[in-house]
Structure 1
């Protein structure tokens, strides 16, 4: 992790592996900083028996996503556009700084720096009319678009797949067609049976899972949990 000048901590994607009887840590960073290795064990009281329990623990232990309240993960809760952008740049190890260009984000908003960084790196473009709609729940196709952009930022090209096995592809926006095919082909989003559900909101558990898959596919972190 990185400890910023103001004392805040920032996750840096790290691959830990064993070679020749020794353990190594490969830090994958897009910025220059001073790094420290830490052990951060996190557990939640509401993930026992849930399909996402291991993912929630790993992503929280990596300081990518935080819980809600006292040891609660709230995995089924929908996530906002601002929250998803913040988690995504945190996962990539990018600093949340700068000033947002969007008219509906005040400089004092907790996510202002995160959205500014996401904009700077081309992960988000807004909703038009200079708005970002930070408090709107993010849809699955919006998340897919951001995930593809994030992958390209790391140099990972992935695989373009087909949507022909889904019965609701007519609901995928023209602007999200390419991202949807890429996410399916690269195995980040697999859908629910015959449904891709592009306009459904994505939950905290689903967000943690697809972002962990992104980190694993791009080789930024080691595979400890099968996401």
Structure 2
């Protein structure tokens, strides 16, 4: 196939894609024709950076006529190398005042004292905006001190891990029944946390029989659970984000309620990235802003 004609076919196929996910599947299908490597993208595809990279790259493919291989490769690799800082991070702020939700300010104490003992995580330099929220959860007993003093703020959090943090923070009543989900057994460490959320009505699983405890939790699913735990008004149709059309129908009201309540503000480009997997730092912020 003639290279120029082949790339015009790719542009046409991408133009028909309804969202970034379909667009990137098309890119992967025709990567050889485009002459580009997806190696760097594949390494970040399940993170907020990857979500943003895919969204912006597909937008570029739809609007640009320059499909030269070097330009496309440089564009994609550059997008995959960017760091996203949530707009509600408080980055650059010197304020130490508490918020109306959970008393979490924008700066962490220089020498955190947890239960009369000095303790400080050693890997939070790249997540300064989240320090106060992380230490607030530590103080409340939602998270624990680790022997290696690592919190791993940029690591994605699983649904089971989030279930533990949310159920402990909201002091959910323990579930006294038998297993509800086929993938959550009574011998699993997360059984009591998942089932406590189930008893509270905050979760129903990804299907009638599965909870998917080891899958990473998405940002929109965190909003759904927190909105239920906090009894937020979810009657508002949608939040005013640039990518609101990407929010799943079941999460529209919860995301809007979370934004209206100050639990989320989104990213600096006014996107929310609903299907992106949440990081541990983002989780800490949302939990502290809810309760």
Summarize the Cα distance change of 1:66–1:96 in structure 2 as closer, same or farther, 3 Å threshold. Answer: farther
Decide which of 107, 116, 121 is 2:200's aligned counterpart: 121
Contact 1:104/1:133 (8 A) holds in 2: yes
Please state if 1:81 is matched with 2:159: yes
Summarize the Cα distance change of 1:214–1:39 in structure 2 as closer, same or farther, 3 Å threshold. Answer: farther
Contact 1:158/1:185 (8 A) holds in 2: no
Please name the residue that 2:239 is paired with: 163
**Of Structure 1 and Structure 2, which has the larger fraction of its residues in strand?**
1
Equivalences, count: 176
Unaligned stretches of 5+ residues in structure 1: 1-14, 17-37, 216-227
Please name the residue that 2:169 is paired with: 91
CA displacement at 1:115 relative to structure 2 = 0.6
CA displacement at 1:66 relative to structure 2 = 2.8
Provide the TM-score with structure 2 as the length reference. 0.56
Please name the residue that 2:121 is paired with: 44
CA displacement at 1:163 relative to structure 2 = 2.2
- Could you give the per-residue CA deviations for residues 184-219 of structure 1, whole angstroms, max 9, x where no partner exists? 11110111132110000011011011101111xxxx
Contact 1:159/1:185 (8 A) holds in 2: no
Q: How far apart, CA to CA, are the structure 2 residues paired with 1:180 and 1:65?
A: 25
By relative contact order (CA 8 Å, sep 6+), the higher-ranking structure is 1
Please name the residue that 2:273 is paired with: 197
Summarize the Cα distance change of 1:197–1:170 in structure 2 as closer, same or farther, 3 Å threshold. Answer: same
Q: How far apart, CA to CA, are the structure 2 residues paired with 1:40 and 1:161?
A: 46
Contact 1:41/1:61 (8 A) holds in 2: no
Unaligned stretches of 5+ residues in structure 2: 1-101, 104-114
CA displacement at 1:159 relative to structure 2 = 9.3
Q: How far apart, CA to CA, are the structure 1 residues paired with 2:167 and 2:118?
A: 21
Aligned Cα root-mean-square deviation (Å):
2.4
Please state if 1:60 is matched with 2:149: no
Please name the residue that 1:208 is paired with: 284
Please name the residue that 1:25 is paired with: none
Q: How far apart, CA to CA, are the structure 1 residues paired with 2:117 and 2:190?
A: 24
Q: How far apart, CA to CA, are the structure 2 residues paired with 1:69 and 1:77?
A: 18
Decide which of 258, 261, 267 is 1:186's aligned counterpart: 261
